[in-house]
Chains A and B, each alone.
Chain A
Amino acid sequence: MDLLEYRGKQVLARHGVAQLPGSEATTVDAAVAAAEQIGFPIVIKAQVKSGGRGKAGGIRIAASIDEVREHATSILGMDIRGHTVRELWLQRASEIQSEYYAAVVLDRSAKAPLVMLSTQGGIEIEQVAAEHPEALATLHVDPLVGFHPFHARRLAYEAGVDAGVVRPVGDMLAAIYEAFVREDATLVEINPLVVTPDREVVALDAKVTLDDNAIFRHPDNATLDDDADVDPQEAMARERGLTYVKLDGDIGIFGNGAGLVMSTLDVVAHAGGAPANFLDAGGGAKAEAIVASVEVILSNPNVKAVLFNVFGGITRCDEVARGLIEAYGILQPTVPFVVRLDGTNDVEARSLLADAKLPNVHAEATMDGAAARVVALARGESG
């Protein structure tokens, strides 16, 4: 789960990550009220899960109430890389002496948390790593040992931070690491980490990703997810307990198992088509889940044809066929379906479908053949 900046900051504040006073707002009036409390100059920041907010004009400084009103009006509702701005974060503007970068990320390859510190903050860290690798100090932490003050000192000296702030920067790293572990985060990134003229070290921005699998340990964090930005089909799928990702194309996809569904998307693309979604009904899907899946797939108005690609292991193909027949009865789809079922009880499934004589449902024997057929049907060819 990726958090909006201000929600990430709320999580980090629990662990002593120093920040500037601020407030969120969803309306222009609320933004003005917040600004009156916080004082001027003030920074108004669009809250969307996307980079490039500054370049898009989503981050502006205001020196007066009038400017707050003007900027809040223009930022709310703005589109930033496909995300509509519905929330603002207002934060007291800070005097900046230096901009640093700090992060803790779960390094899958090393199987350890990776702590990073650089004095080149405020720009993309990939750029720093590529152009000035010496300016990025990194350290893998043994999770059984934890992050200790000497780790922080080593990073601070290696990164070359100003001598006067080695200690507060170290404290900041320790707080970030603490938050990373205690909140079950997979990423905490502070860019920029700001040093003020009076040697305060504060997190000016925050990017926090929490592990969905660990939400049971943090029930409060479940409400941090931002529903406003969720696509309607994805919201619908989530309610029905389905794993669904909306895509740009026009071919609806139903499958079982994440790998096979990813592969199905690729094979459809390989055949010249464009999938409209990823949908994994999971292992052992019953008729009810299949009806719900078809409902979600068809609720996307772009869908011109649907491909069922199932290899039955725990999932029984006859159950999938029954679910599809039931879905047809309830939803009466108008777009063509291509069905390829292999594996557990596939023979029974095929005869069930043959007997049902559903209009515009085409059985195919192979995955590649099914992909070619559904692509042709989506183009309006007879297949």
Chain B
Amino acid sequence: MSILVGEDTRLAVSGLTGREGSYHAINNRRYGTNVVAGVTPGKGAQDVEGVPVFNTFREAVAAADANTAMIFVPPRFAADSILEAEDAGIATIIAITEGIPAHDELMVFNVLKRNPDVRLVGPNCPGVLSPGKANVGIIPAAFFKPGNVGVVSRSGTLTYQIGNELAQSGFGNSTIVGIGGDPVPGSSFVDIIALFEADPETELIVMSGEIGGSAEEEAATFIAEHVSKPVVGYIAGLTAPPGRTMGHAGAIVSGSSGGGQAKIDALEAVGVRVGRTPTQVAAIAVEILRG
């Protein structure tokens, strides 16, 4: 098993007819993901390398039985596209788009939370990869193989770095989930860690956080109460100056909140081992996996 995406995924891509959208969607299909539809208003009845394009998500669901959406449209259209996918009954929505206004993300989050059957991952994320099964997004799948380590991260490249070091030690992944670097992500560490805890294939969870917000502290509380599997942590941005946004819109220490050391302390207080470098994270995970 895996979480969020897998052999049952039937993917509809919003933005399939764009340059980036088509490049990555076709890459995903080449990996084995079942890409069943594109959604671009006004381009219905066209196709992109054999993938049929529909005017609306409702048509993509009705005609192609899509159950997962990937959002690849520019920021000003992204919130609308996410809401359209939810309205059409799509259960898993993965938003890659970077640069969506925070107020749009607030609105989307508060609309989606009324629907217990829908899950949004991202935005501003690299997507979700279940090695050997399906890849939805821009994660370079070649570095990863099937295995029992679940990874959840606010950063793409940092995930690849840690995942690659695990792979070099011979360990693969159940699923790799990028939750994104924005202030109001659709899914939090808590949401994804809960899915890994329930996933029989996942034996160890790696969570890679960073400065800004309090999602890591909330994860620590959740882990203490609900997680039986070992969790290894990492926090990026310990040396970042306060008040400065470090690349990701959400990576900022504001006043007394969002600092890296407090996150490490919160995780270690509940027994999560936190590596000080990505290499240490992989080493700790390998040590636990080898028992």
Contact = CB atoms under 8 A, between A and B. Distances in A.
A262 B214 CA distance: 18
B102 A106 contact: yes
Interface stretch (B8-16, B29-37, B40-48, B249-257): B249-257
A313 B246 contact: no
Interface string B237-249: 1111100111111
A112 B107 CA distance: 9
Contact of B240 (A184, A213, A262, A342): A262
Interface in B208-228: 208, 210-215, 218
A186 interface: yes
B70 to A, nearest CB: 15
B279 A368 contact: yes
Provide the main secondary structure of the chain A interface.
mixed
A79 to B, nearest CB: 17
Given A111-B110, A257-B157, A269-B239, A263 B277 contact: yes
A259 B208 contact: yes
A260 B161 contact: yes
Interface residues of A, number: 50
A257 B158 contact: yes
A320 to B, nearest CB: 13
Contacts of A368: 277, 279
Contacts of A312: 140
Interface stretch (B51-59, B61-69, B148-156, B197-205): B148-156
Interface in A275-308: 275, 278, 280, 283
A144 B155 contact: no
B255 A259 contact: no
A74 B211 CA distance: 38
Nearest to B276: A270
A109 B161 CA distance: 28
Contacts of A275: 239
Interface in A159-198: 181, 184, 186
B69 to A, nearest CB: 21
Contacts of A257: 155-158, 247
A314 B126 CA distance: 10
A248 to B, nearest CB: 8
A265 interface: yes
Contact of B138 (A255, A267, A314): A314
B186 to A, nearest CB: 10
Contacts of A280: 247
B269 interface: no
B153 A259 contact: yes
B107 A143 contact: yes
A213 B75 contact: yes
Contacts of A143: 103, 106-107, 110
Which of A245, A269, A278 has the most chain B CB within a 10 Å cutoff? A278
A258 B161 contact: no
A259 B154 contact: yes
A111 B106 contact: yes
A15 to B, nearest CB: 15
B77 to A, nearest CB: 11
A311 interface: yes
A20 interface: no
Contacts of A313: 126, 138-140, 156-157, 160
A343 interface: yes
Contacts of B237: 262-263, 265-266
Contacts of B256: 126
Which of B75, B160, B208, B248 has the most chain A CB within a 10 Å cutoff? B160
B140 A367 contact: no
A216 interface: yes
A139 to B, nearest CB: 15
Contact of B161 (A112, A266, A278, A367): A367
A211 interface: yes
A361 B139 CA distance: 30
B183 interface: yes
Contacts of B276: 266, 270
A113 interface: yes
B229 interface: no
B164 A311 contact: yes
B158 A213 contact: no
A108 B216 CA distance: 12
A338 to B, nearest CB: 16
A283 B110 contact: no
Contact of A213 (B102, B246, B255): B102
A143 B181 CA distance: 22
A119 interface: no
Given A181-B103, A258-B251, A108 B214 contact: yes
A314 B141 CA distance: 11
Contacts of A243: 247
Contacts of B245: 245
A260 B157 contact: yes
Contact of B214 (A109, A112, A184): A109
A270 B277 contact: yes
Interface in A223-268: 243, 245, 247, 255-263, 265-267
5 contacts: A109-B215, A245-B245, A259-B181, A260-B157, A311-B157
Interface of A: 106, 108-109, 111-113, 126, 142-144, 181, 184, 186, 211-214, 216-217, 243, 245, 247, 255-263, 265-267, 269-270, 275, 278, 280, 283, 311-314, 342-344, 366-368
Interface of B: 75-76, 99-104, 106-107, 109-111, 113, 126, 138-140, 142-143, 153-161, 164, 181, 183-184, 208, 210-215, 218, 234, 236-241, 244-251, 255-256, 276-279
Given A111-B106, A263-B236, 12 more contacts: A108-B212, A112-B106, A126-B255, A143-B106, A144-B111, A214-B103, A245-B244, A259-B155, A259-B181, A266-B236, A269-B238, A367-B277
Among all A-B residue pairs, the 8 with the closest Cβ atoms: A259-B155, A258-B247, A257-B157, A259-B158, A214-B101, A260-B157, A262-B236, A262-B237
